[in-house]
Amino acid sequence: MVRIRIVVAAAVLAAGCQPAAQPPLTEQQRTAIVDSVRSVANELATWMSSQGAGRPYASFFDSTAALVIAADGRIVASSHESVVSRYRGWTPPAGARLSWDSLRIEPLGPGLAHFVGAFQESFTPPSGSAYLGRGVMSAVVVHRPAGWRFTAVHTSVVPQQAGR
């Protein structure tokens, strides 16, 4: 009988230790998240269009080991360290431009959002053949002490010749 009471008491205590459900975000909180995530997306476009001025590419991404970046059907990075290694010293080519055609940002909770953006990227490499790509980027975006960072990222691009 004592064992049953102990088991029941332990179950009641364990049930009481569950985290409390988060209250729904207010409209003001949702708007602040959307505006903040839109701002970091625009910072990325400005960075690409300024040939990487002021910060490394990896700084746009979450610094946890859970970071994954997929592009056009391949996993290209599976941790922040792999992003740092892959893009160390990389800057967009001269004349590169990134612009968002549309952005959809859905707050998921405090410090967490889902992001989808249709974009255009263009540049003319040293070979002289102009490049224009249209694509989509989707990501979970997390707020860290240093600001919003992309994580669980996927991009797909359909390259086109400029002028088409």
pLDDT digits (tens, 9 = 90+) for 112-145: 999 999 999 998 877 778 888 899 999 999 999 9
Closest CA relative to residue 148, chosen from 70, 7, 35 = 35
Mean pLDDT of 135-164: 88
pLDDT at 18: 53
pLDDT tens figures, 91-102? 888 888 999 999
Mean pLDDT of the chain: 85
Looking at per-residue pLDDT, the higher value among 125 and 55 belongs to 55
What DSSP letter does each residue of 46-83 carry, written as one string? HHHHTTSTTS-GGGGB--STT--EEETTEEEESSHHHH
Between the two ends of the chain, the Cα-to-Cα distance in Å is 80
| Residue linked to tokens 């249709």 | 118
Q: All domains of the chain, ordered by start, with CATH?
A: 26-161 (3.10.450.50)
Instruction: Report the C-alpha gap between 124 and 113 in whole angstroms.
Output: 34
- pTM passes above 0.85: no
